[in-house]
Structure 1
C-alpha cells in the first residue's frame, strides 16, 4: 500500500491506495466492523462491540465501542458514531473529494459520552475505484478537542496500519460472508455520496 501524509491547520491527512480491494468491500466493512476489528489492527485492537448497532442499508447513527492501545501506550475505550452528513461541520465536509465516504465522530471514552454527545473531533475515510483497485484518503480533524501535530502523527501511524491491513484481510473476509444471505447477520450499505461541502449527502441512504 502506498501512502502520503500531510498536515494542515485542520488536522492530519493520509492518501492511500490498494491493489485488490474494491469500494464495495470497504462500504461493507463499516456495517460489519465487529467481524474484522481485531484483524484491522491485530497488535492494538481489542474486540469491538456495538452500543447502537447499524441497520441493513444504513449505518448512520450507529455507535461502536472501539477499545485500542496506540503506539504511545495510551489505551482508549472510544465511543465512535457514524455521522449523518448534514450534521457535520461544513469545514470538515470540504475535505470530501472521492465517491464514497464515512465520517465518524469521537464522542468520548465512556457510556456517558452518548448523553448529549459533543464530538471531540472527526475521522474521515473516503475512497473510490481506481485502475488497480481503490484509492482513498483518511483524515483526523479535532474540533472540541484540538489535536497537536504530534498527536496527529501518533494517529497516522495507527491509521496507516489499519488501512494497510484492509489489503490483507478484507477481500477474503468479504468473500467468506457472501454465503450469509440473512441481512440481520451480514449487513450492507452503499456509502456513495453526491454534492460538495454543505450539500454533501449520501446517494442511497435516506
Structure 2
C-alpha cells in the first residue's frame, strides 16, 4: 500500500465526544441462545498459568444465520458495523492501525462503550484494543476453528487483559465463545482507568464481562451481519472491503492462522 492512504476507514462514524451521548437508550434485545449441546469449557494452558493469567469469564452463544466467513470479515471491517454491534452502547470507533496497512495481527482499534445508559463509559475518551499474535499469547488448551485475541495494555507495556473470541460453523449458523483473560501480575491499570479515577475517585469500574454487554453484542450479529456482509461481498476494492481468514490450526509451536492476513497489496 501507499504510505499516503486517502481512504479513511471509519465507515462514516462520527466519533463524537462520548459524554454527549451517554444517556442514549440501548436497543432492546433478546439474550442469544446457547449451543446445543454446550461446548467444552475452555481451560488455560500451562504457559498462561505461569504468566499469572486467570480466566474470570467465558460465555457461549449460538448465532443463527451467521457463518464463520462473515465473522472473519467482520473483524477486518469493524468500522462498517461497530455501532450496529451494540446499538446505543457503542460510543466510538476508529482504527489506529488498519488491517489494510498493517495486516490483521498487527492492527489496533480505539473504542469507547457503555455497559448501561448513563454509566461511566468504558474506555473513557478512547482505549486502544490491540490484536494479539497467537504464537505469543494464545492462552487455552483448545480452540474452535476460528479465533481472534485482543488486548489492552497499560503505560508500562504490560498486557492488562484480553478478550478472546472464537467461533465455528454448525448447522444453521455458528457457535461462538467470548472469553476474558486477566493478568494477575500486572503492575498498574490501563491509562483510561487511571483517568476515570482521577476525575472521580468514587467511580465504579465494572468490567464488561460482569454485565450483559457480551450477550448484547452476540445477540446483534445475527441481526445485522448477514445483511451487511451481503451488501459488501461484491465490492471490488480490497483496501475498502478487507478480506481475511481467521481459521487456525495447531502446530508443534502452538496455534497459527492458516492464512497470512497481511497488509493489502493492490
Is the shorter-chain TM-score for this pair beyond 0.5, marking a shared fold? yes
Contact between 1:13 and 1:137, CA under 8 Å: does it hold in 2? yes
Aligned to 2:140: 93
Contact between 1:11 and 1:152, CA under 8 Å: does it hold in 2? no
Contact between 2:180 and 2:209, CA under 8 Å: does it hold in 1? no
> Secondary structure of the equivalent of 2:243?
coil
Q: Which runs of 4 or more aligned residues in structure 1 lie more than 4 Å from their structure 2 counterparts after TM superposition?
A: 4-9
Partner Cα separation in structure 2 for residue 202 and residue 141 of structure 1: 20
After TM superposition, give the deviation of residue 55 of structure 1 in Å: 2.7
Contact between 1:57 and 1:188, CA under 8 Å: does it hold in 2? no
Contact between 1:3 and 1:16, CA under 8 Å: does it hold in 2? yes
In structure 2, runs of 5+ residues without a counterpart are 1-31, 44-53, 190-205, 262-266
For residues 39-94 of structure 1, the C-alpha deviation after alignment (integer angstroms, 9 at most, x for no partner) is 00111112310111113894111110011112281212221011111110x5x233
For residues 95-141 of structure 1, the C-alpha deviation after alignment (integer angstroms, 9 at most, x for no partner) is x4210000001235xxxx5xx63221110000001011101111011
The 10-residue stretch of structure 1 (171-180 or 66-75) with the greater mean CA deviation from structure 2: 66-75
Match of 1:172 among 221, 227, 235: 227
Aligned CA RMSD, in angstroms, stands at 2.7
Number of equivalences = 192
Partner Cα separation in structure 1 for residue 165 and residue 108 of structure 2: 16
Aligned to 2:244: 189
Q: Which has the larger radius of gyration?
A: 2
Match of 2:130 among 81, 91, 114: 81
The 10-residue stretch of structure 1 (192-201 or 59-68) with the greater mean CA deviation from structure 2: 192-201
> TM-score, with normalisation over the residues of structure 1?
0.83
> TM-score, with normalisation over the residues of structure 2?
0.65
After TM superposition, give the deviation of residue 154 of structure 1 in Å: 2.5
Partner Cα separation in structure 1 for residue 240 and residue 42 of structure 2: 39
Match of 1:23 among 68, 93, 98: 68
Partner Cα separation in structure 1 for residue 115 and residue 253 of structure 2: 33
In structure 1, runs of 5+ residues without a counterpart are none
Aligned to 2:12: none
